[in-house]
Structure 1
Amino acid sequence: MTSLKTFLPLSAAVLGLALVQCKKQDAAPAAPPPVQAQRAPESAAAPQQAPAAVSDVVKAKRPAGGEYLGLYLVDKKVGYVFNDLGIIPGREDRVRAINELHFKAQVGARLSERIHREERIYEARPGGRLVAFTIEQRGDGGTQTLVGSATPTGISVVRKRPGMQDETVNLPATTEVVEDADQVRVALLRRKDVSGAVLDGMDLGTYKLVTSVQPSEERLISGVKVKVGRAVSVSDKEKVPVTAYVAEEDGRLLEMEYGQTMKARAEPEAVAKRLDLVEVFGLTRVVLPKALPESAHAIPGEVKLVMENLPEKFQQDTYRQKFQREKDGRVLVTLSAKPPEPKVLKPRPLADPEGGENLKTSIIIESDNPRIVEQSRMLVGGEKDAYAAAKKIVTWVASTLQKDYGASADRATDVLRQRKGDCTEHSLLTVSLLRAAGIPARRVDGVIYMVNADGVPALYWHEWVEAFVGEWTQMDPTFNQVVADATHFGVGREGNAEITPLIGSLKVLEVR
């Protein structure tokens, strides 16, 4: 499997490590045991040994035995990936794609590590469908294995966790095919754009993926000029162009660029596994020229910031955020906070003004799980007013969950069971309980103002929620704010990688 499929969900891991300001800093936990890379044999990677009626994804050149890439965030080494793809020995009608992500960084006084491994099996024929997969996760986010089998009508997933009973989840069918396992090399081989879909390894949703071929170029690699093919991929989930550079002579993936912030570079195994000890607080925060005024904390409240390196796509006026362009690419951002208007409040259950997406259940949200439904019912009781019900949920989550970094969980039921976590766990459980109560809700990613132990005023990456109670209103269950104050600047939703290019590049020049 090409590193593209690792690189797309990678920024979710980056964001997860960056959302640190609301987390308790204790002694570092023991690192999770390493996952050993499983490699397809060299014969499986050699196109000339494959049967004739196979997909172009097998015919494309690639290094035998797989390839390693070091992962860099703001030029600091934070992890590596391993990828391989080839015909399964003894099964010429099947292709196996292996993909591993190892991510590690220092978070305050703690060491955070995440290991994500996927193995996918496809029919080898052109357009061959995805037939099975195994997804293993360890470290930050919890330990679990998802074993899936796919048919044209649906996907059955068995979830395995240490010390717990297995769970089976049935999901809609995916349209992912074998060419989607490495769209970059397929597009470069065909010299034409490729469009398809990918089953996301985190939420198991299927998202459109398009790869466009760009003009070739020459690059200096180890002092030698190499002709390089170039392709740009965009996922409907991530919405950020990922540029891949592939050596035309032997199919080596040389580098991938994820905006200006993140890169993956081809490296020998030993070099790829040699990581920098990166402290995420200092690396990802946005330092302010001075402290925010008290008015930013008031409800209603307001604050004005002059920013640069804020792309136009993020400059969309909302009920909380207004944007005014100034000279030299600067943007005046006005952040405000106030309670929802009483005259627009509605009883629950409410219809989702965006068509139902914010009421959906999923393998992560789990708002239809009996335990979530029962907890939501206990909290809300007979309260009909949606905002009053939402405040009960936010207050309960804020007062019940222990703030404990290192107790992360990727599923709402796990958060409910362990009753601890950081801002991502607080937001995940809140959204799940809100949807179970018939209140459209979603998670918001962005930055929040804080002054940590070093005394430097700064914006730190954070996650909170937004609920529709007749109109949209933002709430912060981590800090028990039934109205998220004006120190919150939202730039994305649902842990989406779309905001990752802002990390390390966004700057605040003035506080007004």
Structure 2
Amino acid sequence: MTSARIKGHGIAGGLFVLLFLALLAVRLDVFPGALLPGSGPAASSAGPSRADEDRWMAVYQNGRKIGYSHRRMQRVPRGYRFEESGLLRINTMGVVQDIRMKTTGDLNPDGTLSAFRFDLQSSLFRFVLRGEVRGRQAIVYQGPPSAEKQIRIALREAPHLSNSLYEALRGRALATGQEMTLNVFDPASMAERPVRVKVLERETIQIMGRPHAARKVAVDFMGARQVAWLGEDGGVLREQGLLGMTVEQVTKDRALDGLTLAASTDLTDAASIPSRVRLDAPEALAQMTVRLANVRPESLSLDGGRQRYEQGRLTVVREAMPAARTTRDALPAEMRPFLQATPFIQSDHPEIRARAARIVSLGDSDAVKARKLVDWVYRNVEKRPVLSVPNALETLTHRVGDCNEHAVLLAALARAAGIPAQIEAGLVYLKGRFYYHAWNVLYVDGWVTADATMGQMPADVTHIRLVRGEADRQIDLAGIIGDIRLEIVDTKK
């Protein structure tokens, strides 16, 4: 099979971009989200005290402005109308792109959420999510009109739409050292996630040229740590977090001014991990051992399959590709879930099924089918960074994307062709650094790694799996970005 390393870091690192967007969106509340439990003092403050607010925020990375957000709350006859829009100019893999996000929400008179819509638009891709709340259930619709999927999600309590995670702190007497856990709804993974908040000391900070008394709080979202300063009204004055990111309240003119075309820090480079050992031909290696530090093994998928993890040392052994067989054993029952369609892996869509049928032949063994599918995605999807939530159907339509798009499309095509498929996410070596990356495993008489971005099956041993699964598992990587340490200790050919 064709095998190629990507020029520079190319589109390796795309996984980090997806994680970054999810984290930033949750922090700015550009996802319709933070569906917070509607109880206690915070719930009552979501009513009249939240009306007629108009707030502009500027977003900086290492002191350079990269975007803004604008949020408004207005009274309407049936309750309240919430709107938030934002623009981010992000440098990913050497390409500067704009991404626009907008959230609208209809709130009941008591502040509980009635309906919402989220729209993310990048250069090629558009991600739309809308939903409504009926009792203790959120009914979420995702995808283009021709392939819209409905997902029903049970809620613990009547949810509120917060203008930030800190909305739940409004009205509470906050004591220094106090800790609490809030649940937010992440629409990308369709799951609730815990956010831990710790109240720190009071400080006076300069905002828009004037001193403001503020309460400092520390936030831990899936291990990603942030610090925020809340004003007397409970609103966010400033927030600092991931990779030099700062969000700060400003005037409208300041928010809209000063966004240049100059490239900011490349996010994928900033998140990558340098290697002291340089590998000239990674694809020729049969085995690699690394030492990992600053990871929580219990929350990751480090051990199993071609990987062996013990006491901080991880060894990856390249698999042997199964021989092509004309007959196929019955699939184990536990493989059936990996043949099913999901909201982002639309393997049951007619266009996906038709494309898979044109790529493979009826007489092909599973091994031959898998090779054909990997090669087709490798050759037919242009390798370019994409700022969106990846899904297979749009990738098949546009034929462009980074590692995320390659992985969801290959998973969908494989499942449509009868081959169980999953997505793995972790790190891959490229020219002296390890980048966050996504690839697949296909069940061909056993799980075999496949990287359609690089045209590899099996994938080379520098592919280090950290998690296996879709967005609901990949978001678990948020807590190790910037902290994980990796050192190559041995390689074998």
**TM-score, length basis structure 1:** 0.70
Moved more, 460-469 or 408-417: 408-417
Q: 2:399 aligns with which of 383, 401, 419?
A: 419
Question: Which residue type is aligned with residue 494 of structure 1?
Answer: E
Answering whether residue 220 of structure 2 is matched by residue 217 of structure 1, we say: no
1:323, distance to aligned residue in structure 2 (A) = 3.4
Q: Secondary structure at the match of 2:461?
A: coil
5 Å-filtered alignment, 1:299-448, equals 301-312=286-297, 313-314=299-300, 316-325=302-311, 331-339=312-320, 347=329, 351-353=333-335, 356=337, 358-383=338-363, 385-405=365-385, 410-448=390-428
5 Å-filtered alignment, 1:233-248, equals 234=221, 239-240=222-223, 243=226, 245-247=228-230
Residue 45 of structure 1 corresponds to which residue in structure 2? none
**Percent of aligned pairs with the same amino acid:** 18
Answering whether residue 447 of structure 2 is matched by residue 463 of structure 1, we say: no
1:464, distance to aligned residue in structure 2 (A) = 1.2
Q: 2:122 aligns with which of 129, 139, 154?
A: 139
**CA offsets 1:1-57 (integer angstroms, 9 cap, x no match):** xxxxxxxxxx999524999xxxxxxxxxxxxxxxxx9xxxxxxxxxxxxxx9x8442
In 2: Cα distance, 1:77 partner to 1:494 partner: 33
**CA offsets 1:126-181 (integer angstroms, 9 cap, x no match):** 6x3x4333332222452465555565677474866xxxxx5362413345644253
In 2: Cα distance, 1:322 partner to 1:16 partner: 27
Question: Which residue type is aligned with residue 135 of structure 1?
Answer: F
**CA offsets 1:452-488 (integer angstroms, 9 cap, x no match):** xxxxx22233221122344332111112111011121
Indicate how the Cα distance of structure 1 residues 460 and 363 shifts in structure 2: closer, same or farther if over 3 A, else same: same
1:271, distance to aligned residue in structure 2 (A) = 5.2
Answering whether residue 46 of structure 2 is matched by residue 57 of structure 1, we say: yes
Residue 191 of structure 2 corresponds to which residue in structure 1? 207
In 2: Cα distance, 1:14 partner to 1:69 partner: 22
Question: Which residue type is aligned with residue 402 of structure 2?
Answer: D
Q: 1:498 aligns with which of 460, 476, 488?
A: 476
Q: Secondary structure at the match of 1:439?
A: coil
CA contact (8 A) 1:195 1:211 kept: yes
Q: Secondary structure at the match of 2:46?
A: helix
Question: Which residue type is aligned with residue 458 of structure 1?
Answer: R
CA contact (8 A) 1:117 1:136 kept: yes
Answering whether residue 302 of structure 2 is matched by residue 292 of structure 1, we say: no
CA contact (8 A) 2:353 2:416 kept: yes
In 1: Cα distance, 2:386 partner to 2:183 partner: 36
Residue 17 of structure 2 corresponds to which residue in structure 1? 15
Indicate how the Cα distance of structure 1 residues 227 and 426 shifts in structure 2: closer, same or farther if over 3 A, else same: closer
CA contact (8 A) 1:293 1:303 kept: no
CA contact (8 A) 2:129 2:140 kept: no
Residue 173 of structure 1 corresponds to which residue in structure 2? 152
Q: Secondary structure at the match of 2:356?
A: helix
Indicate how the Cα distance of structure 1 residues 461 and 436 shifts in structure 2: closer, same or farther if over 3 A, else same: same
CA contact (8 A) 2:236 2:249 kept: no
Moved more, 440-449 or 76-85: 76-85
1:266, distance to aligned residue in structure 2 (A) = 2.0
5 Å-filtered alignment, 1:123-202, equals 123-125=108-110, 128=112, 130-140=113-123, 142-143=125-126, 148=131, 151=134, 155=139, 157=141, 166-167=145-146, 169-175=148-154, 177-181=158-162, 182=164, 184-190=166-172, 198=185, 200=187
Residue 430 of structure 2 corresponds to which residue in structure 1? 450
In 2: Cα distance, 1:318 partner to 1:483 partner: 16
Gaps of 5+ in 2: 1-12, 22-29, 31-40, 174-178
In 1: Cα distance, 2:358 partner to 2:118 partner: 34
**CA offsets 1:280-313 (integer angstroms, 9 cap, x no match):** 254233222131264x4237x1122334444444
CA contact (8 A) 2:139 2:153 kept: yes
In 1: Cα distance, 2:183 partner to 2:480 partner: 27
Gaps of 5+ in 1: 1-10, 20-36, 38-51, 161-165, 326-330, 452-456
1:433, distance to aligned residue in structure 2 (A) = 0.9
1:227, distance to aligned residue in structure 2 (A) = 4.8
Q: 2:250 aligns with which of 248, 268, 275?
A: 268
RMSD between aligned residues? 4.2
In 1: Cα distance, 2:284 partner to 2:110 partner: 62
Residue 36 of structure 2 corresponds to which residue in structure 1? none
1:336, distance to aligned residue in structure 2 (A) = 2.2
Residue 234 of structure 2 corresponds to which residue in structure 1? 251
Q: Secondary structure at the match of 1:371?
A: helix
In 1: Cα distance, 2:341 partner to 2:63 partner: 37
Moved more, 502-511 or 476-485: 502-511
CA contact (8 A) 2:229 2:237 kept: yes
Question: Which residue type is aligned with residue 253 of structure 1?
Answer: V
**CA offsets 1:232-285 (integer angstroms, 9 cap, x no match):** 465xxxx34555635262212144465x64644323155556467324254233
